Amino acid sequence: MTDDRQAAWAAAGRAAASQVQDGMRVGLGTGRAAAQGIRALGARVREGMRVTGVPTSPASAALARAQGIRLGRLDGPLDLAFDGADAIDPRGLTVKGAGGAMVRERAVAQAADRFLVLVDGPKLVVSLDEWGVLPLAVVPFCARAVARDLADLGPVVRPRRSDDGLVLCDLHVPAGSDWEAVAARARARPGVVDHGLFVLDRRDVLVGRADGTAAAADPA
């Protein structure tokens, strides 16, 4: 990964961490951009801020512990959460799940009063067709049946399962498709726990830049 992209993610991570206030319960996402947010939040904790982090994966939990962030469970509302994304279109339709954590990520996002998404410029696309892949999380017992029912979408099962033991299956969405309709069709199949399509407010999408600055994708 290029130094410019790393710098951009770090900038977005600092911008997210700057929104955290003392005493907050904060959802901690999964992936490279979210990891930068966790590191930036850890720096604030070491300066004296008290927060409780609710991680969406064992990897994020391990990083948060290493940063000195106290961890808690998803047993109530969260004040704020931040995470990364794979692609975001101009309407706020967003694909997540390349890392396979979208089930926990959606649970954390929905529990949060505010959900921030950290990206760099290449993640902002004109159409999700530029990304083309919609991940699913599927109960193992149903995986073959789901793949058969969605065969026209070229399902590819990943060799590794999610942290919750779910089968991860990538659908290849044809160009020009209605992504929300595809996601709804997939979610309706028995055994599909969740998909990776999210709908965001682009004012909560923090775009990091290589020069160390960050700003909302659509400023208020």
Closest Cα to residue 28, out of 75, 87, 69?
A: 69
DSSP annotation string for 88-137? E-TT-EEE--TTS-HHHHHHHHHHBSSEEEEEEGGGB-S-GGGT-EEEEE
The answer to whether 134 and 171 are in contact (CB under 8 A) is yes
Q: How far is CA 116 from CA 82, 122, 189, 197, 203, in A?
A: 5, 17, 30, 16, 9
CA distance from start to end of the chain: 31
- Is 105 a residue of the active site? yes
Catalytic residue among 47, 105, 130, 180: 105
Rg (CA), the chain: 17
Question: Per-residue DSSP letters for 23-84?
Answer: T-EEEE--SHHHHHHHHHHHHHHHTT---EEEESSHHHHHHHHHTT-EE--SSS-BSEEEE-
Q: Which residues are catalytic?
A: 105
